[in-house]
A and B are shown apart, each in its own frame.
Chain A
Amino acid sequence: MSIVPDTTQLKAFSSTIPGLQFAWDSVSLGELKTCPRKYYYTIIEGWQPILRSDHLTFGIHYHRALELYDHRKAEGQSHNDALDCAVKYCLEETVVRLPGDRWRPWTSQEPNKNRETLLRTVVWYLDQFEQDAAQTIILQNSKPAVELSFRFEIDYQIDSQPALLCGHLDRIVEFTGKKFVLDHKTTKYNIDDRYFAQFNPDNQMSLYSLAAQIVYGEPVRGIIIDAAQVLVNSSRFLRGFTFRHKSETDEWLSEVNYWLAQAQHFAQSGVWPKNDKSCGFYGGCPFREVCASAPSFRETLLNASFRRRVWDPLIPRGTDV
């Protein structure tokens, strides 16, 4: 493997052991669980494909547009005014600005995830849930509980201090008198019981359940998953639920300790082995070609198709809790 980058100056990493992460979010923990080598490339070396996937671009804009709507509604704006804010965002942020007042629209290779299907999905979702029984909680600071950044300490020690779990919750809502975390998902596949079954067990949902219980202070009943099936000519929405009993989140958390011990072992040995049973997941790992090449050629391939960025899960997005 190449020389481990010096991560000791980064806030999310150990200050003494290069490559040992200190603050973990669901993305980095998920990458570690999927494949230690993928985790190393993505999180420690910070490689990202130069061409961002259309699914990821769509998901980011979809979340952001709905978040803007929720903020405007919480400020007292009407449905149509708040919706206009989301539409304006979708139109303005899905273009690339070029020199001299020129611009070009985001060109997607996915027929069901592009500018037009984004706008349609946002407008149809917000219209469908205009009179939603799930109401956003208003926090003590008068801000809506939307895109909440969280962090909390766990038992596992790194550099003689507790490691952190961190992340962002889309929304906390009150629904039928109980509190739920609400998360948005988009898919091109059919939304049915099998679709919702994939969220238990699920790394992200278990972390969100735990985070909501710890940072919100009150028991959260579960997680609402508002799923959008995005097709070429239409969008369908279905609301599903996933629940975690305290014994389940306790078990998940105790298993996190084992995973972090693994991460510590990988960092200390400087070896992040490939899990070659994960290469085909989710349409194929972006590093498949890199791992399939001779070790001496991998750096060249990475430089050709990827760019580096610093992974920092501690950067807050919306409201800190």
Chain B
Amino acid sequence: MAEDSPLREAKPSMAEIFQRDPLQLTRQDRDAIVAVLRQRRVEFQREEVASKNKPKRTRAPDGLSLDDLLK
């Protein structure tokens, strides 16, 4: 992606911040990391709720045959 691309992220990504010397990071940089982590937490919590609400698949009993239905 070109340097001046309008699609380029306005804010540095977490990966980019991680590449920098931590002693040079500003509060703004750290806040950006925290914001990303918080967003991930919201997404994780959403997935957790969704997976808990998902109806459990019932499993067919093992070892049954058509003959069993006719008994």
Contact (Cβ within 8 A) A91 B31: no
Q: Which residues of B are found within 8 Å of A94, using beta-carbon distances?
A: 22
The distance in angstroms between the C-alpha atoms of A80 and B38, with both chains bound, is: 12
**At the interface, is chain A mostly helix, strand, loop or mixed?**
helix
- Interface positions, chain A 82-115, Cβ under 8 Å from B, are 83-84, 87-88, 91-92, 94-95, 101, 103, 105, 115
Distance in Å: Cβ of B34 to nearest Cβ of chain A: 6
Q: Select the stretch in A68-76, A119-127, A183-191 that faces chain B.
A: A119-127
Q: How far is the CB of A25 from chain B (nearest CB, A)?
A: 32
For window 7-54 of chain B, which residues contact chain A by CB distance below 8 Å? 14, 18, 21-23, 25, 27, 30-31, 33-34, 37-38, 40-41, 44
How far, in whole Å, are A66 and B69 apart by their CA atoms in the complex? 62
Residues of A within 8 A of B (CB): 80, 83-84, 87-88, 91-92, 94-95, 101, 103, 105, 115-116, 119-120, 123-124, 127, 233-234
A119→B21 contact, CB < 8 A? no
Kindly identify which residue among B21, B33, B41, B44 contacts A87, using a CB–CB cutoff of 8 Å. B33
Given the interface contacts A87-B30, A88-B30, does A123 sit within 8 Å of B37 by beta carbon?
Answer: yes
Distance, CA A120 to CA B25, complexed state (A) = 17
Within 8 Å by CB of B33, from A95, A105, A119, A124, lies A119
A-chain residues with CB within 8 Å of residue B44 when the two chains form the complex: 233-234
A66 to chain B, nearest CB (A): 15
Tell me the smallest distance from the CB of A195 to a CB of chain B, in Å: 18
Interface size of B by Cβ–Cβ distance < 8 Å? Answer: 16
B40→A120 contact, CB < 8 A: yes
The answer on a CB contact under 8 Å between A115 and B18 is: yes
Contacts of B33 in A (CB 8 A): 87, 91, 119
* B30–A92 CB distance below 8 A: no
B34/A120 in contact, CB under 8 A: no
Query: What CA separation (Å) do A111 and B22 show in the bound complex?
Result: 21
Q: CA separation between A115 and B31, bound complex, in Å?
A: 16
State the Cβ distance, A190 to closest chain B Cβ, in Å.
14
User: In whole Å, how far is B24's beta carbon from the nearest beta carbon of chain A?
Assistant: 10
Contacting residues, chain B, for A234 (C-beta < 8 A): 40, 44
Provided the pairs A91-B25, A127-B38 are in contact, do residues A84 and B18 lie with their beta carbons within 8 angstroms? no
* New A-B pairs, 10, CB < 8 Å, besides A94-B22, A105-B18, A127-B41: A84-B31, A87-B34, A88-B22, A92-B23, A116-B14, A123-B37, A123-B38, A124-B41, A233-B44, A234-B40
CA of A101 to CA of B30, assembled, Å: 21
Within the complex, the shortest CB–CB distance from A126 to chain B, in Å, comes to 10
Complex CA gap A269/B22 in Å reads: 52
What is the minimal beta-carbon distance from A82 to any residue of chain B, in angstroms? 12
The CB with the most chain B CB atoms within 10 A, among A84, A95, A116, A123, is that of A123
Q: How far is the CB of A232 from chain B (nearest CB, A)?
A: 12
Whether A103 lies near B34 (C-beta < 8 A) is no
**Distance between Cα atoms of A100 and B37 in the complex (Å):** 32
Provide the residues of chain A in CB contact with B25, threshold 8 Å. 88, 91
